[in-house]
A and B are shown apart, each in its own frame.
Chain A
Amino acid sequence: MSVPQPETAPGEPWPRPGTPGPAPSWTRLYGRLLTVSLRAQWQYPADFLIGAATTVLLSATEIAGFAVILWRFHHIGGWGPAEIALLYGLTRGAYAVHRLGAGDLHRAGAYVQSGEYDSLLLRPCPPLFALLARSGRIQQLAALITPMTAAGIAIAHLWSSGVLRVWSAACLPLVFLCAVAMDYAVGIATFAFAFWLVRVDEFSVLTVDAPNTAASFPLTAYPAWLRWYLSSAIPVGVCVFFPLRFLLGRGGGWIDLAMAPPAAAAALAGALWLWRRGESRYMGTGT
């Protein structure tokens, strides 16, 4: 089945011929749909609070193991506790933002398998957009708590010790945005394979979960093939580790920082292209 693409004119993201008034922008629309889905989940506050508490506990236990290592040995891959906390905070924080805003992207396989993706094709907006704006995971707000706390404490420590300067601290939001964009790119590219493989949950552990965990620590600690994997095949390390290495004076050059935005943009463009290719193969289930 070929995919009917909505006929949108430039600047008119919501194509409703004859609808009076200005068309809402994609960003506003995305924000509104996401807010609606988050508010829907907030209808069960006890569910949210219990889920949030366990989410925080899970990420805290993840840190606890490495805290024991740092308490004993004071470094990992030559990086001190504060530097690792910042690397961890930015990497895991960006991933939590991606999971918060990626809606049902990670359930793309289920949509394809059940044929529910048909319903997205009928909407007056690109199906990927509809998928992303659906069922935002409110519990990911809690998943932000631990990484952001770690990053905040690390920034304060690195600032007071003179490692972070005004210009390098000012670059951190850019690094974070690039990391979020890269996580979106990797997520979209991974789940685009659902159009070929249908079930991609196990595959996503290889391309999304494992690289994100690995990129939370200095790549210098890893063997060469894993460094290549995290900087070329699944380039999550390009947007946090390399820029941060330069900003913290741990080596590298300004090019490490400068290449993060184009790398994230290129990855995002490639992921969108892959998604469209996959979508053109979608056959539906005939139900």
Chain B
Amino acid sequence: MRGGGSPCLREGFALRLEHRIRTSVALRTGLRLTRNGFRRGLQYRGAHMVNNAASAIFGVVFIAIWRSVLSGSAGRRAAAPLHLSVAWTAHYVVASQSLLWITVFLPFGLGLPEAVRNGQVVADLTRPVGLWALHMGREAGGAAYNLVYRSLPVAAGLGLMVGLPRPQTLLGVVAALALTAVAVWNALCLNYLVGISAFWTTEARAAHNLLVALVFALGCAEVPLRAFPAPLRPILVWLPFGSLLSTPALAWMGSVGLPAVVAAVAWALTLSAVCILATRAARRRLAVQGG
């Protein structure tokens, strides 16, 4: 039988094939964007290594502060119910200080505000890859670069002084890696939302500063979750900011709770949906004023 099957089946096969080709092209494009984002960072490796030294100084400051408050007998007494110790807090600072480079110090709005300002966004919207995928792919490469050339050197430097946090089991390692990936995803989504706000406002920079402030304060950058007042802790666990720093840091310490894991994954899904909806709204919002 020529052609094999009914026209309806043939059409279904063609659609599936087209879908597979599109998925394959999208994946390859995404990987290429990520690779380019990674390569872009390589241009400034030397300068970044100098900055890593500064980042390590910040880490040493926080480690020293925790050591000073926990070293006395009164400090130990106050810390005992919270299960805080000098070594534990030092490891937490190592983890959180290293994570900063892949979840907090991302380019302002993933470069979208600049693209909106200079009109580049029009060309970006005509590309065969979506605006969200374009910026997420590109900056995922930047985050990968930051992981290799910023986070790991900072962790190594601080680890030489106070040791590295290590999950005790293989499952713990897998969970830590997965939650770190979720943290990067959530950070990219939040920064994308900051960037896409440039379609509606000229004050996207303020949104960026607000995001950084909230992540530092509510994401437990310097102070571990368990040191916060008890009524605040459940609130902090369910906010998205904890999924960027506190949750992956605690996962690397091997002491992350189930609610924090659920919250991180839930926020990843929610933020992805919001990013897609915001991109659609931004596309409708765009007005080209001629050339």
Contacts and interface: CB of A to CB of B under 8 A. Distances in A.
B64 A202 contact: no
A110 to B, nearest CB: 14
A69 B60 contact: no
A68 B228 contact: yes
A206 B221 CA distance: 20
A262 interface: no
Interface stretch (A3-11, A27-35, A47-55, A164-172): A47-55
Given A47-B203, A69-B227, A77 B213 contact: no
Contacts of B222: 65-66
Interface in A204-220: 205-206, 209-211, 213-214, 217-218, 220
B47 A58 contact: no
B134 interface: no
Given A69-B69, A214-B57, A61 B216 contact: yes
Contact of A76 (B57, B65, B212): B65
Given A202-B48, A214-B57, A223 B64 contact: yes
Interface residues of B, number: 41
Interface string B36-58: 00000000100110110111011
A64 B217 contact: yes
Instruction: Name which of B48, B60, B78, B82 has the most chain A CB atoms within 10 A of its CB.
Output: B60
Contact of B50 (A62, A203, A209, A218): A203
A222 B64 contact: yes
Residue among B50, B51, B64 with max Cβ neighbours from chain A (10 Å): B64
B275 interface: no
A229 B199 CA distance: 45
Interface string A58-97: 1011101110110111111110000000000000000000
A158 to B, nearest CB: 21
B68 A68 contact: no
A280 B270 CA distance: 57
A229 B56 CA distance: 13
B282 interface: no
B206 interface: yes
Contacts of B216: 58, 61-62, 65
Interface of B: 44, 47-48, 50-51, 53-55, 57-58, 60-61, 64-70, 74-75, 78-79, 82, 202-203, 205-206, 209-210, 212-214, 216-217, 221-223, 227-229
9 contacts: A69-B223, A73-B69, A76-B69, A78-B68, A203-B47, A205-B51, A221-B64, A222-B60, A226-B61
